[in-house]
Amino acid sequence: MIQLHDVTKIYRTRSVETVALDSINLTVDKGEFISVMGPSGCGKSTLLNIVGLLDNPSKGLVTIDGKQWDKQSDKVIAQVRNRTIGFIFQSFHLINALSVTDNVEVPLLYRNVGSKERKRLVAEAIERVGLSHRAKHFPAELSGGQCQRVAIARAIVGNPQIILADEPTGNLDSRNGAEVMNILNSLNADMGATIVMVTHDENLAEKTGRTIRFFDGRQVQ
Amino acid sequence: MKWITYTKLALKTLWSNKFFAFMSVVGVAVTILLLMLASIQWDNAISPKAPEVNLDRTLIVKRVKLERGNDNTWMSGVGRGLIGFITDSIKSAQTVSVFMSSELNITMDQGTSQHSALMVDPNFWQIHQFEFIDGRPFTQPEYDAKAQVVVINQNVNRILFGEESGVGKTMVIRGQVYTVIGVVADISITCHNAYAEAWAPLSLVMQRMNADYLGSLSVLYLAKSKADFSAIKSEVKEAERKINTTLEKDMRLFIAGPDTSLEAYFRGYGDPEEFNGAVDAWIDIIIRLLILMIIPTINLIALNLTRIDERKEEIAVRKSFGASRWVIVRQLLYENIVVCFIGGVIGLLVSIWCAYAFSELLFEPSWNQSFGHVDVHFSPYVFIGSLVFVFILGILSGIVPAYKTAKLSPALALKGGEQ
């Protein structure tokens, strides 16, 4: 499903060159749920950005479903992000001006889905994360756990094959963290979604199928 | 249906930053207000409306310039000496009329009131379609006989004769007794060629004028269609050439026009030879539009650019979930057009109110001593033009910020880094 061949990412400023990822080789199979662990600044989020086609590697090859996408046009990459990938961020990144429903609808605005169908899919996704009673609320009116559930609903509304979760429980207490983890596990089990999750929490990592570890931009396990 | 969602999003986004919303909407509204007032003024001056129903088929000569050597230049209205040359010889015109602005002093018990008057020939009544409440215009025999007759408007009729019709009654103008032969409905002061409150035969004063080339007359040409304008203009220029051959060697006459209503509106009072007709009129319009457009465009660009930082996260999220650069540009442009449209509608409504509330300031020509009746005419083209202007404004002020915002790297923006 996801393959990284000798992927290196270097951030350059005028005076400093930082190697964020150093010759990473990784394969994630379809339907797999893996966790990525490592200390802060070891390149975990950079890995997700590159897998999620939000950033390009400085060197190496990234393939999703056997195809290399990073050399494609912005429009094609945007389509892949829209149809194949769903993102969950540590700090939720919800659009504060929009209600829960409108936030969840965002991915569907960028594909040909009629208004009625959009409403149905959004309602389903919100129901799946147990927030139907908050559908008309705004992010500022929700708790952290509820915000993350909205973010999960947004990530799954378009039924993507891959979910990339960047420390999805990082800003949540243990109870909400466990709830989010349960949702992710059920997405993996019920929908067959391939999930790559960055986490600092060993307990959560244990609940995934496989854990890979990073240190200073290199994969150490 | 997606556009409904986009509009909803645009309004929500706009509402989320009320200061930005206020500044943007007010900026556009003020611009549209100024544009609308200028357009309404302009439209009222150049669009056909009763009694100037033939304005779009009418040309006018109001000014001539006479030069002697390099030092002496005179500019004024048309003199009696020119009339024969530039009326009878213009064969392409359907009708030619000569008229002169004057004043009418009405003496009453309370004092004297001053009103605009025009001294006109019988053809004047053919070019303009006045609504006669009572009576009739004067005829060619009456004109030739220098009959002391006058057509007055309802306002003058009311002042002199109350609610009764003044037709058949007499009134005193400059010590002379005139018989009222017609009463017409009040006409708007925006009818620049026909506006007056009394109309008397020009023949009464024609003989007293010197046969000079410079004077205070104006000449109207009614063409069968606009297609005849160039022929009429050529014939007037030919008449000018002929006149110049009869002048002393160091003298030269220049006839301004004949002008269409658009050209007459933009000609101004400068050297008539420096006015390049419709080209100058359009340059004038374009410059005014650009000036009107530049300030709000810069204002909106600045406001939108300051919002890039604020919206960085949102744009990064949209890109993460499948919005391409072009989709982001399109969406931000659409939002900007919505903002401009809201401002535009407010500007339109305020301008309609202003057009009525401040009609004296807007429409009273500087030459008019007393304020007359104003009918504000609203053309659908002015509204459509304003909406097109709003659309262009939305695109111009939105394209640079939208493109800059759409270029943001989602990875960096989500991390809080800079592009």
B143 pLDDT band, cuts 50/70/90, is very high
Per the structure, the count of domains in chain B is 2
Q: For B75-134, write each residue's pLDDT tens digit.
A: 888 888 888 888 888 888 899 999 998 877 776 656 677 788 899 999 999 999 999 999
Within this chain, do residues B43 and B186 fall inside the same structural domain, yes or no? no
> Which of chain A's residues have a Cβ under 8 Å away from the Cβ of B320?
52, 54, 81, 87, 93
Domain assignment of residue B264, yes or no? no
Within this chain, do residues B243 and B291 fall inside the same structural domain, yes or no? no
Query: Is the CB of B322 less than 8 angstroms away from the CB of A81?
Result: yes
Q: For A54-69, write each residue's pLDDT tens digit.
A: 888 899 989 988 888 8
Within this chain, do residues B296 and B226 fall inside the same structural domain, yes or no? no
pLDDT for B58 equals: 93
Query: Is the CB of A110 less than 8 angstroms away from the CB of B322?
Result: yes
**Burial level of B159, CB count in 10 A (0-12/13-18/19+)?**
middle
End-to-end alpha carbon distance in chain A: 20
Query: Is the CB of A78 less than 8 angstroms away from the CB of B9?
Result: no
Query: CA–CA distance from A214 to each of A2, A23, A50, A198, B76 (Å)?
Result: 18, 12, 15, 11, 91
CATH for the stretch A2-219: 3.40.50.300
ipTM of the complex in this document = 0.91
Find residues 121-180 of chain A whose CB sits inside 8 Å of chain B: 154, 158
> Which of chain A's residues have a Cβ under 8 Å away from the Cβ of B410?
54
Domain assignment of residue B67, yes or no? yes
Greatest Cα-to-Cα distance within chain B, rounded to the nearest angstrom = 94
Query: Is the CB of B409 less than 8 angstroms away from the CB of A45?
Result: no
Q: Using alpha carbons only, how large is chain B's radius of gyration in Å?
A: 29
Between CA B121 and CA B118 the distance in angstroms is: 10
Instruction: Tell me if residue A48 falls in helix, strand or coil.
Output: helix
> Which of chain B's residues have a Cβ under 8 Å away from the Cβ of A54?
319-320, 409-411, 414
H or E stretch including B205? helix B203-206
Q: Once rounded to an integer, what is the mean pLDDT over residues B156-172?
A: 88
> Which of chain B's residues have a Cβ under 8 Å away from the Cβ of A93?
313, 316-317, 320, 414
Q: Which residues pair with B132 in a beta bridge?
A: B184
The shortest CB-CB distance from A115 to any of B1, B16, B327 is to: B1
> Which of chain A's residues have a Cβ under 8 Å away from the Cβ of B315?
none
- Other CB atoms within a 10 A radius of the CB of residue B381 amount to 11
pLDDT for B24 equals: 83
Tell me which of B195, B225, B258 is where a domain ends.
B258
Substitution target from A93, A111, A154 for chain B, most B beta carbons within 10 A: A93
What secondary structure letter does DSSP report for B408? S
Q: For B275-306, write each residue's pLDDT tens digit.
A: 777 777 788 788 887 887 788 788 888 888 88
> Which of chain B's residues have a Cβ under 8 Å away from the Cβ of A109?
2, 5-6, 323
Flag residues of chain A having pLDDT under 50. none
pLDDT for A181 equals: 87
pLDDT for B94 equals: 92
Residue B418 has pLDDT above 50, yes or no: no
The shortest CB-CB distance from B5 to any of A83, A93, A109 is to: A109
Q: For B40-54, write each residue's pLDDT tens digit.
A: 777 777 778 888 888
Instruction: Tell me if residue B314 falls in helix, strand or coil.
Output: helix
Q: Which residues pair with B107 in a beta bridge?
A: B112
Q: How far is B311 from chain A (nearest CA, A)?
A: 9
Q: How far is A190 from chain B (nearest CA, A)?
A: 22
How many contacts, defined by CB atoms under 8 Å, are there between A and B?
83
Sign of the torsion angle spanned by Cα atoms A184, A190, A196, A202: positive
Domain assignment of residue B273, yes or no? no
pLDDT for B416 equals: 61
Within this chain, do residues B372 and B241 fall inside the same structural domain, yes or no? no
Q: Once rounded to an integer, what is the mean pLDDT over residues B24-42?
A: 83
Between CA A153 and CA B154 the distance in angstroms is: 74
Domain assignment of residue B55, yes or no? no
Within this chain, do residues B67 and B41 fall inside the same structural domain, yes or no? no
Within this chain, do residues B227 and B163 fall inside the same structural domain, yes or no? yes
Between CA A191 and CA B290 the distance in angstroms is: 58
Residue B386 has pLDDT above 60, yes or no: yes
Q: Once rounded to an integer, what is the mean pLDDT over residues B300-325?
A: 85
Between CA A24 and CA B325 the distance in angstroms is: 29
Find residues 56-85 of chain A whose CB sits inside 8 Å of chain B: 74-75, 77-79, 81-83
Within this chain, do residues B126 and B6 fall inside the same structural domain, yes or no? no
Between CA B4 and CA B68 the distance in angstroms is: 69
Domain assignment of residue B270, yes or no? no
Query: Is the CB of A97 less than 8 angstroms away from the CB of B15?
Result: yes
Decide: B106 and B37 in contact? Cβ < 8 Å: no
Q: Quick one: tokens of B14?
A: 């706009």
- B-chain residue closest to A115, CA distance: B1
Substitution target from A90, A110, A136, A138 for chain B, most B beta carbons within 10 A: A110
B211 pLDDT band, cuts 50/70/90, is confident
Between CA B225 and CA B214 the distance in angstroms is: 30
Q: How far is A86 from chain B (nearest CA, A)?
A: 7
B71 pLDDT band, cuts 50/70/90, is confident
In terms of residue numbers, what domain contains B335?
A: 2-48+279-415
pLDDT for A177 equals: 83
Between CA A89 and CA B89 the distance in angstroms is: 85
Q: Quick one: tokens of B44?
A: 């009222």
CB half-sphere exposure, B316, CA atoms < 13 A: 28
> Which of chain B's residues have a Cβ under 8 Å away from the Cβ of A86?
321
> Which of chain A's residues have a Cβ under 8 Å away from the Cβ of B408?
none
Decide: B57 and B224 in contact? Cβ < 8 Å: yes
Q: Quick one: tokens of B389?
A: 């202007």
Query: CA A167 from chain center: how many Å?
Result: 9
Residue B369 has pLDDT above 50, yes or no: no
Please report which residue ranges of B271-408 form alpha helices under DSSP H: 278-320, 325-357, 359-363, 380-406
Domain assignment of residue B272, yes or no? no
**Cβ-count burial B343-365 (b if 16+ within 10 Å, e if not):** bbbbbbebbbebbeeebeebbbe
Q: Which of B41, B52, B61 is nearest to B259 (CA)?
A: B61
What secondary structure letter does DSSP report for A19? E
CB half-sphere exposure, B186, CA atoms < 13 A: 14
What secondary structure letter does DSSP report for A138? -
pLDDT for B108 equals: 62
pLDDT for A171 equals: 79
The shortest CB-CB distance from B321 to any of A75, A107, A115 is to: A107
Query: CA B194 from chain center: how many Å?
Result: 15
> Which of chain A's residues have a Cβ under 8 Å away from the Cβ of B330?
none
